[in-house]
Amino acid sequence: MLHASPFMAVAERGRSMPSVSLRRLANAVAGALLLFTANCAQPAITGSITIPPIPAGEARIWIYRDYEPYAGKGLPAVAANGGYIGQAELGGAFYRDVAPGHYRVTVESYGVDVNQAADFDLAAGRAAYVKIVSNPSWVAYGIENQIERPTFYAWLMPNEAAQGDVSHLAFYGGG
């Protein structure tokens, strides 16, 4: 008699599967789930983290990006005065401590538009908040399959409003 699977053959003979095999299967499934969830762990919310004070003689630039379900999903690179400082995570925030001075914060973008960079002066002991926003359909084409290339913007935001926004976003580090 041919059987569809070894499990059916055991069941048809009226025996149960050996408990060692079930244990191995359960351990394998639990291990796979553990690995999967470890890679999916979300960072802590910024408001729940103790952020150190700005070091003496330095300033701080916060970069944040709200979670927008319709936004471009990429991880655009962010630069300050032409030097890479991080990537803009959807629904996340990070900061960099910098020397006081004039800053131009830009974000990697497929499309080119006006007002895509944030220009500001930053004094010692002060912080600036730059919000990364996107226009996912700035460059879009296709008839049957719509293809979008998001255009990103770096906008300087008022500190009071930005602090509230940042507090509920995932924290991706500082320094």
130 plus 98 within the same structural domain = yes
Q: 31 lies in which domain range? A: 6-39
Same domain for 29 and 104? no
Same domain, 71 and 92: yes
- Both 66 and 31 in a single domain? no
Considering the entire predicted model, what is its pTM? 0.73
C-alpha span between 16 and 9 (Å, rounded) = 10
Residue 1 in any domain: the answer is: no
Residue 108's CATH number: 2.60.40.1120
**Tokens read off for 63:** 């970069």
Q: Are 61 and 128 in contact (CB under 8 A)?
A: yes
Q: How far apart are CA 79 and CA 101, in angstroms?
A: 15
Q: Identify whether 34 is part of a domain.
A: yes
Residue 87 maps to a domain:
yes
pLDDT tens series, the chain, 175 aa: 444 444 344 444 444 444 455 555 555 555 544 444 445 567 899 999 999 999 999 999 999 999 877 776 788 999 999 999 999 999 999 999 999 999 999 999 887 888 999 999 999 999 999 999 988 766 655 566 666 677 899 999 999 999 999 999 999 999 8
> How many structural domains compose the chain?
2
